[in-house]
Every structure is written in C-alpha cells, then in structure tokens.
Homo-oligomer: A and B are copies of this chain.
Amino acid sequence: MQIPSIPKGTRDFTPAEMVKRNYIFDSIKDIFRLFGYAPIETPAMENLSTLLGKYGDEGDKLLFRILNSGDFLRDTSPDDFTNPEPGALSAKLCEKGLRYDLTVPFARFVVQHQHEISFPFKRFQVQPVWRADRPQKGRYREFYQCDVDVVGSNSLLNEVELIQIIDKVFDKLGISVTIKLNNRKILAGIAEYINAPHLMTDITIAIDKLDKIGLEKVNEELAGKGLSSSAIEKLQPVMALGGSNHEKLSALKKVLANSETGLMGIAETETVFSLLELSPVTTKIELDLTLARGLNYYTGAIFEVKANDVPIGSICGGGRYDDLTGIFGMKNVSGVGISFGADRIYDVMTQLDVFPKGVSSTTKVLLTYFGEKEQLYSLSLVKKFRDNEISCELYPDVAKLKKSMNYANGKNIPFVIIIGEEEMQSGLLTLKNMETGNQQKLSVAQAISEIIK
C-alpha cells in the first residue's frame, strides 16, 4: 500500500511547528485585543457570487471551486459539454468557492451584519485562505492570514494605532523591522502633476526599480509606457527625493503645490507623523513613494513592513480604503487595515533564531517508572503536578527506562521524574533535568517549585 500524501501546496503541521506557529498567532492576537480589536470568523466556503470579480481575472482563475453536492449536472445540458467553455461550465457545476483572502469576506460580513455591528467596527480575523497558485518555495495553496481592520471611521488615529500595533508585534516577536509608509493621494497628485493620471501605477512601479536598474533605465521604461518627455522631465525632482521624512514631505509640498489631492495626501501623512510624536514607537518609519501595493483599492495611507536583517518580501502590509463595502452596495464606509504574513514571519524568526526557548516543548514533565506497582503510585502522583498547572505526562506503558527517556527527548520534555521502589518508600522523587542531565531527590512540593522555576 502506498504511503498516503496531501495535495501539493498544502501542509501538515507537526506539534513542534504548531507550538511555534501558535506563539506567533497568540502574540499577534493578544496585541490586537490590547488595542480593542475583536475577533470574527467567516465560513471557508463563500458563494462564488461573493468572490468572483473581486480579485481580477487572474484571481478568478485561482479560486478553488466546490462541486455542487448531489446532482451536480442539474444545471447543465449535454450541449454544455460538446464545445465546453470552462468559465461558463464551472459556473454551472459550482456555486461555492473557498475563501481567497480575508478582506472580501470581511466586506461581505460588514454589509450583511451592518445592523448588528457597532461602528467604528474594529475586527481581527486569523483564518486560512486558499489559492490555486502554482506551489513553490514559500508559496502555498493554503495559508493563514492575520488581518486587523477598522471600518466606519475616517480618523487618522486609526492609522497611528495600526503603526503602534506593528511596532508592538515585531518588538514582541524579536524582529527588527522598518515600516514603509506611502499615501495613495500623493501618488495620485504626482500623476496629476505630470498630466498622466492614468499612468499612476506604471509610474509607481517604474520608480520602484530606481535602486535596481538606475535612473536612465527607469526613464526609458516610463517613455515606453507612453509618458511624454516633458512629463518625464517634470518627474525628475520626485525621483531625486531624499533625506528625512520631513525633508521629503517639504520637497513634495513644493512640487505638488497645485494638486489638491497631492496636498491632502501630504497633510494626512504629516498628521500621522505628528500624532506619532505624542505616542512614539521605536520602529523606524520611512516615507517610501515607491510603495504601490494594492493600488486599485487603497485610497489613503499605504503600509508595508520589511524585516531589517532577513532578505524576504514584506511581512505585513495594508492601507486605507474608502469604499471596500461598496462592492456589496454599502457606500461611504471608510476603513483601514493591515495583514500579517504568518508564514514569512515564521521563516524570519526561524532564520534569526528568535523563538523563545520554552516554546518548542509542550509537556513540562514526564513521569516514568519501573514496574506495575510504581505505575499505580505514579497515577495518583501525576494529579498533583496538573493541579499546579504543570503540563505533565504519565508514560502509559511499563517499559525499559531507555524507551521513556527517548520519548522525553523526542518531545523535548525538559524534566523527567523516575519512580522506583526507593522513591515509593521515601516519598522523595528523582527529578532529572534533561538539558543539564542533573538529577535531584526532591519532595513533591520541591519538585513542583523546581519545575515551575
């Protein structure tokens, strides 16, 4: 019989991986809660009418679709199969799909439950999403997203709090990061200023390549996109922007003096920085005009977080959107949110070796023994450890000591208590520290305090 396997791009998580992953999730959730965000969950399956058209054509293709249950051919006719058009046919075979991200289900949730919700609605959501992407290193078909959003408030205090959350999360996890900040209105202002509003995305993407390919090549690329030479000329001061955030903003203010939108973006960004002076964070924040993620959807601030010491894509990102719920007919609900990438954070923490030491074991102490009599004695003993909230295992079988020691090592259990005839008579336990190899004879109370310590 063949060893069973799992679908490509999916993963099992062993206990050793789970405890580390949970450490990340729990740390993030605790901080979300500290800032007053509350959890929601949505179903893995959504109606395809909710999902389709929300992620572009490419996204539609990457949706996992669920075959209708029962007679799945009920909506089809033989004609559908003679000259099949896959898109139309799959719509007849499937009415549900797996969640592709947490943002669209969140928008759907807000609209569907708008009368039960207190606005501003501060929610977090930590659940898996599924994408039929080609699997490759670091890219999975099932992965978790950790999203935190507030909708129903225009206040820039929300942006500030999200920055504080980012600061606190990565401080807690032990990852040194830089927060990159941009504003969609500034980008729109720049495009307006050079009379090419329709090329905003192309301009941003081109500027993003400055470091890699140099100014000359960037200008060539812009020309290739249809930007006039005078527009490219006008763009040069923007590309030359440097210095502190303050200096960049001052320079931009001159360049965009005639763009109402651009000035609004600058003012928003200045407000965020000045609010942060009242409640400072330790993480470095960098105004970065090349930040263009999710442009077609963000309307104000755009965030991205990079690890300083590990070369990897962004590990957190997000922004302000003014019309997320508009796709479901609920207008004028502005929101802002960010999403933490748990898989990349896991990889960064592994590379930096910053998982706390205790996090790799789940059981604190294993009780093992030499024979039947000792087994019974241990059964009454184990309760005392658990009553003190010590995660404790009683080795279930009478076996050679070596076997239970191997078991303790395999599970990374830091302490083992060995019960023999002598221990039963004296009431003193032999407590072995598995890391140091040190053995002590201790009373139950002493052993408990030694383990807790």
Contact = CB atoms under 8 A, between A and B. Distances in A.
A23 to B, nearest CB: 12
A375 interface: yes
Q: This chain: how many copies in the complex?
A: 2
User: Per DSSP, are chain A's interface residues mostly helix, strand or loop, or mixed?
Assistant: mixed
Interface residues of A, number: 110
Contacts of A411: 38, 118
Interface string A380-423: 10110010011111101100000000110011000000000000
Contact of A389 (B34, B142, B410): B34
Interface in A4-42: 4-7, 10-15, 18-19, 22, 33-42
Given A12-B42, A15-B123, A108-B4, A393 B35 contact: yes
Contact of A45 (B2, B120, B142): B142
A150 to B, nearest CB: 7
A34 B387 CA distance: 9
Interface in A111-130: 111-113, 116-120, 122-123, 128, 130
Contacts of A386: 34-35
A240 B352 CA distance: 68
Interface in A94-121: 94-96, 98, 108-109, 111-113, 116-120
B12 A47 contact: no
Contact of A329 (B3, B109, B375, B394): B3
A210 to B, nearest CB: 35
A113 B18 CA distance: 15
A40 B18 contact: yes
Contact of A397 (B11, B14, B155): B155
Contacts of A310: none
A211 to B, nearest CB: 35
A410 B47 CA distance: 29
Given A4-B328, A73-B86, A278-B380, 7 more contacts: A4-B47, A6-B46, A7-B43, A39-B362, A62-B69, A67-B93, A275-B379
Interface of A: 1-7, 10-15, 18-19, 22, 33-47, 49-50, 61-62, 64-67, 69-73, 78, 80-82, 84, 86, 89-90, 93-96, 98, 108-109, 111-113, 116-120, 122-123, 128, 130, 132, 141-142, 150, 153-155, 157-158, 160-161, 164, 275, 278-279, 328-329, 362-363, 366, 375-376, 379-380, 382-383, 386, 389-394, 396-397, 406-407, 410-411
11 contacts: A4-B49, A7-B46, A10-B45, A34-B389, A36-B393, A71-B86, A80-B81, A93-B93, A118-B411, A155-B397, A275-B379
